[in-house]
Amino acid sequence: MAKSKLDELVSFCKQAGFVFPSSEIYGGMSAIYDYGHHGILLKNNIRDCWWRSMVQERDDVFGLDSAIFMHPTTWKASGHVDSFDDPQMECKKCHTRLRADHLLEDFGINADKESIEVVNKYIDDLRAQGKQIKCPNCGSTDLTPAKRFSLMVKSNIGSPTDELTEESVVYLRPETCGGIYLEYKNVVDSMHPQLPFGIAQVGKAFRNEIIARQFIFRTREFEQMEMQYFLRPEEMAERYEYWRQTRWAWYLDLGMDESKIRWFKHIKLAHYASQAYDIEYNSKFLGGFKEIEGIHTRGDWDLSQHSKFSGADLTMWDEKTQSKILPNIMETSVGLGRLVLMFLDHAYNVENVDDKTRTVLKFDPRLAPVKAAVFPLLRNKSELVDKAHALAHQLRQIYQIEFDDHGNIGKRYRRQDEIGTPLTITVDFDTLEKDEVTVRERDTMAQERVAISKLPEYLRAKLGF
């Protein structure tokens, strides 16, 4: 079978040390992935850029790292236990689990967040018109009717021999913001913020997704970067617009081509939301615009539900109105793995150089996993190798550096291009005499000689930090 575009990216990510299928020696786990050395460096860089813009550079947003396990009532109060589910069908032939709303999309039908009765009616209507939904895996049209399938992942804490009962069940959080609502009172009491203010966190979330092959776009274990902004109801419209613009600008600042992203306005909304826009990215590997980030207004749903279920007073004193109020909330929410996929997709270029192809990831230097690589010209000349090691060691105090002495220089350039390293530095025989190195730029492939004493300053100017 011909390799699909997505297969090309999946095997590239594995071979270049970005993303590996999880538990591969046991046959793998569907929709679960591990990040290799270059993948975790890229992921951490994206996370740091997000944290910097959402927390470090602001005085109205506070950081939090709440636990994955929360009191089970959290998810009853939030509505997730009762209504966080997807319409699932199963292929009777190959037993693949399928998302009915995704299958209906192929017929131009938007069944997002419709009731199960409506979803099954759409399917029956198609059949009546002689159109059949097929299993994308084996092509069979023999599918079960759609039924609701909860996305909540259950576990239990306590004795390992305990049976999983309704009382012992705990949920792995399906979104990180639950922890923010439960800690909001402690943040208010310890940081004494005035409205409006935000709380941000990065952490793991878990959903029992019904998966079609989408690589790290949709996984069962993933990381979210969420910011919940607490405000007076009358401030919502203006702040919502402000955060939409702020998040859009974040993508452009990191080198995103503006023609590759767009807004999608949700008409049908999640149970907690009253307004929802997504930022979508036009992916060459997934073949079209896909949701990357959601920006939602949540009104007072979360705080009033948690107040009702816990009995706690979740109002706060508002200096401006000199009264106690229950703040409204709007959120920005983005998957970190989804951003890894988007930035890889965006940076990935295959070029023709001297009748050979070179794969190059044109990352913004802030995102590049490795900032510079150091090569000795020849690996069997110890004076060059020692000098290159010493230089790499010196530069590692400032930047993520890779040392490489495998194969010829051309191959080393290709390997660094493939992981998006902006600069490569070669130690040659002249270096031993003049203390100068050759620095090559990833995108232009231009080379220049630079004195070792000037290298830190040179790198700072080229990388921009």
Name the pairing type of β-strands 19-21 and 197-206.
unpaired
Nearer to ligand GAP, 100 or 360 (CB): 100
Q: Find the DSSP H helices in 70-160.
A: 73-77, 80-83, 100-105, 116-128
Number of residues counted as binding ligand GAP (CB under 6 A): 19
Residue 104's nearest CA partner among 57, 71, 136, 66 is 136
CB 152 within 8 A of CB 174: yes
Task: Output the smallest distance, CB 341 to ligand GAP, in A.
Answer: 9
* Choice from 215, 222, 229, 363 touching ligand GAP (CB under 6 A): 222
Q: How many CA atoms lie within 13 A of 5 on its CB side?
A: 9
* Choice from 80, 247, 338, 371 touching ligand GAP (CB under 6 A): 338
Nearer to ligand GAP, 84 or 122 (CB): 84
Q: Supply 60's token pair.
A: 């109205």
Give the start-end residues of each E strand in 100-253.
147-150, 153-156, 169-172, 197-206, 221-231
Task: Output the smallest distance, CB 271 to ligand GAP, in A.
Answer: 11
Task: Output the smallest distance, CB 217 to ligand GAP, in A.
Answer: 7
* Choice from 224, 297, 426, 438 touching ligand GAP (CB under 6 A): 224
* Choice from 86, 114, 209, 417 touching ligand GAP (CB under 6 A): 209
Interface of this chain with ligand GAP, residues 128 to 167, rule: CB under 6 A: none
Instruction: Name the residue number minimizing CB distance to ligand GAP.
Output: 335
Nearer to ligand GAP, 334 or 391 (CB): 334
Task: Output the smallest distance, CB 8 to ligand GAP, in A.
Answer: 21
Interface of this chain with ligand GAP, residues 398 to 457, rule: CB under 6 A: none
Q: Which single residue is written with the structure tokens 């702040």?
A: 239
Nearer to ligand GAP, 333 or 424 (CB): 333
CA–CA dist 258, 252 (Å, integer): 7
Helix H or strand E segment including 243: helix 236-253
Residue 179 binds ligand GAP (CB under 6 A): no
**Helix-strand-coil split of the chain, %, nearest 5:** 35, 30, 35
**CB crowding 358-369: b at 16 or more within 10 Å, else e:** bebbbbbbbbbb
| SS3 of residue 60 by DSSP | coil
CA–CA dist 283, 287 (Å, integer): 6
Task: Output the smallest distance, CB 214 to ligand GAP, in A.
Answer: 8
Task: Output the smallest distance, CB 224 to ligand GAP, in A.
Answer: 5
Residue 345 binds ligand GAP (CB under 6 A): no
Nearer to ligand GAP, 294 or 327 (CB): 294
Task: Output the smallest distance, CB 331 to ligand GAP, in A.
Answer: 6
Residue 334 binds ligand GAP (CB under 6 A): yes
Nearer to ligand GAP, 101 or 436 (CB): 101
Distance in angstroms between the alpha carbons of the first and the last residue of the chain: 46
Burial class (CB in 10 A: 0-12, 13-18, 19+), 241: exposed
Nearer to ligand GAP, 277 or 458 (CB): 277
Helix H or strand E segment including 282: strand 275-283
CA–CA dist 38, 294 (Å, integer): 27
* Choice from 198, 337, 369, 376 touching ligand GAP (CB under 6 A): 337
User: Which string of DSSP letters, residue by residue, matches 359-425?
Assistant: EEE---TTT-S-SEEEEES-TT-HHHHHHHHHHHHHHHTTS-EEE--SS-HHHHHHHHHHHT-SEEE
- Residues 279-308: x where in contact with ligand GAP by CB under 6 A, - otherwise, as a string: ------------xxxx--------------
Nearer to ligand GAP, 5 or 271 (CB): 271
Nearer to ligand GAP, 273 or 445 (CB): 273
Task: Output the smallest distance, CB 440 to ligand GAP, in A.
Answer: 36
Most distant pair of Cα atoms in the chain: their distance: 83
- From the list 305-313, 318-326, 335-343, 373-381, the region that binds ligand GAP by CB under 6 A is 335-343
Nearer to ligand GAP, 150 or 224 (CB): 224
Residues making contact with ligand GAP (CB under 6 A): 175, 177, 207, 209, 218-219, 222, 224, 226, 291-294, 331, 333-335, 337-338
